[in-house]
Structure 1
Amino acid sequence: MTATPARPPFDEAVARALDEFSELIVTDMSATDISRVRELAAPFPMAELTMHGAFTREEFALTRPEDGTALAVVVYTPVGTKRPTPVLLHLHGGGLIAGHADSDTPGLTQLMADTGCSLVVFDYRLAPEYPYPAALEDATVVLSWLAGPDAPATVDPARIVLSGVSAGGGLAATTALFARDHDGPQLAGLLLMCPMLDHRSDSFSARQMEGAGSWDRVANVVGWDAYLGPDAHDREVSLYASAARCADYSNLPPTFIDVGSAETFRDECIAFAAEMWKAGGDAELHVWPGGTHGFDFLTPWAPMSRDAREARTAWLRRLLTRV
């Protein structure tokens, strides 16, 4: 029998939430569970999405250049704004297999209100129906539109911060790498919340936390295999598919990364920040003690979750004073 590895303890509020909200826990899953995981991404009331009228909501339909299909984009703008605002271009979580444009919006509205930013979200294509590079292509289309002449006049193309949660965080990182390497728009910053960065799913923390928390190594393999094909962890893939494959971390925008100490992605997030520092980059890293994957979305009322949101807000405010 294999002994259970020693694990960092969960924060008290996190442990309680993991017990109370067991239907939101995604561990020990298989490809047949993808439809169930998608059902977890329920829509939110409009009042919650607009912070009870603090933001206007406008929908746009872009066109994917490779096939002419529509790409739905939503822009939230602070009410009463008098000038172009900085903008957070956000990619939702969901393991690359689930989620929708507004999956994370309620958890971001206070950040927007506190920093005067607009928020842009969109429905990137999901695996396995649309494997790599579909999601990356969608993110690149929206980024180029937002930095171009057809973007809403209320947003400032010189102050685009690319952000993402979980799979969206990993996709934000690969989109930033692609933009850097292909003369894409200049980003003001990169905000990565518990990002899914490494398709190998074999870090110490991934193995340590298998079967525990809210998203484990087994679920992670399912998500990556859907996106990259079967047994993706055994193959070399492009850095634009898996950001951890990057060999050159130079010339990335100022980056904020946070992650829990008791979660699958801890070590790959630490490694990403460390590689940025080695390359002379500007990275701020927070490892929240006892946090599971996405803990502040799971337990928004917890003191540690409030601290995490305040740290992001402080970073974004500092960033926007420099651009």
Structure 2
Amino acid sequence: MFDSHYIDAEVRPILDMLAAQFGDYSKLTVAETRALYNQNAPLMAAPVPEGCLDERRTIPGPGGDIACRIFRPKNIHGELPVIVHFLGGTYVATSLDHLGPPPTAMAMEVGCLVVVPLHRMPPENPFPSAYDDSVAVYEWLVKHAREWGGDPDRIILQGESSGGTLAAAVCIDAKAKGLSQPVMQVLAEPLLDHESETCSMSEFTFMLSKEAIRFGSKTYFGDQRPPRRASPLKAEALAGVAPAYVITAGLDPLRDEGIAYVARLRREGVPVIHRHHDGQLHGFFSMFPQILQARIAFQEVCAVMRFAFAGGLGNTARKEQ
């Protein structure tokens, strides 16, 4: 089905650059990982484009206030639809100060409010801290988005890698709590099973490896086995969660679990759009300034988001099924 040996020509120099900058962070301590992140994150951060407002606010959370960075177009007024962009990474090192291109680009392309929450990080804050914070952010926006100029009836959850994990998990947790579903969940190369033993997990080491994934999970869960709640693919039931847009990449260790999640969502009656990109590595979706295929993927996602916010998906996502 997929050409596992094809590497997009635009990806090859990026692989060399990433290897030189980051190496194999699964062999680093948490302190070393954070130091490396602080060194390299500013080099990969995207500038805020002209015409985009940039604000900082907080949302009450179970472990204290959750810091958020908010982007919106300057020239659009009224209640804007809302995208919640969950940060990716290993949960260990992240920041609101050095964000990649998607949040601001989505705000401008879709014409919406983009909220980027900073969840608590392990090992100081182990599971379920990040999950609880993410649910708290969504629940607060459902009730209070208008305070920030957002429309609580038009919310999309979006994330890449472990940010995709959180977006999918929030939909499942929202259903369990009786909350309305978001309009849509957009999952780019998501991690969906912390114990996955798929073919792609063993085959690929481009950008991300099985060892690096296990490093992130161990930091988060310690010596405990990851509980079912942590892995959306292991959820007891998926029927009734928001329609999904799932992106997988041909060279990604997480490829096969993404494909398995698509299949499971479809079996349980959840509308799904699946886009697979041969020759692409994990994290390619955020690399649209460098990779043509990523630009195409990003523009398609923005078009689907506009379609969803305009009511194109009907009412399938708003209430628990």
TM-score by length of 1: 0.87
Can you give the 5+ residue segments of structure 1 that lack an aligned partner in the other structure?
A: 1-5
The whole-number CA distance in structure 1 between the counterparts of 2:276 and 2:188 is 11
Q: Give the C-alpha shift of residue 134 in structure 1.
A: 0.3
2:9 maps to 1:12: yes
Contact 1:78-1:117 within 8 A present in 2 as well: yes
Q: Which moved more, 1:23-32 or 1:75-84?
A: 23-32
Match of 2:233? 244
Which one of 23, 32, 35 corresponds to residue 32 of structure 2?
Answer: 35
2:133 maps to 1:144: no
> Deviation string for 1:208-232 (max 9, x for gaps)?
11xx2001110000111111222x5
> Deviation string for 1:18-58 (max 9, x for gaps)?
0133244554623525632563255659x955312x22122
2:272 maps to 1:279: no
> Deviation string for 1:148-175 (max 9, x for gaps)?
1365341100001011111111111111
The whole-number CA distance in structure 2 between the counterparts of 1:102 and 1:73 is 11
Match of 1:88? 83
Can you give the 5+ residue segments of structure 2 that lack an aligned partner in the other structure?
A: 315-321
Indicate the SS of the match to 1:87.
strand
Which one of 289, 301, 311 corresponds to residue 300 of structure 1?
Answer: 289
**Letter of the structure 2 residue corresponding to residue 50 of structure 1:** V
Which one of 109, 122, 130 corresponds to residue 127 of structure 1?
Answer: 122
Output aligned runs, 1:1-323, within 5 Å: 7-25=4-22, 27=24, 29-30=26-27, 32=29, 35-36=32-33, 39-40=36-37, 48-52=46-50, 54-65=51-62, 67=63, 69-101=64-96, 103-149=98-144, 151-209=146-204, 212-230=205-223, 235=225, 237-238=227-228, 240-298=229-287, 300-322=289-311
> Deviation string for 1:68-91 (max 9, x for gaps)?
x22211221211222101110011
Indicate the SS of the match to 2:10.
helix
Aligned Cα root-mean-square deviation (Å): 2.4
Task: Give percent identity, aligned residues only.
Answer: 25
> Deviation string for 1:97-147 (max 9, x for gaps)?
221235545233223212111100111011121111100111112111111
Match of 1:3? none
TM-score by length of 2: 0.88
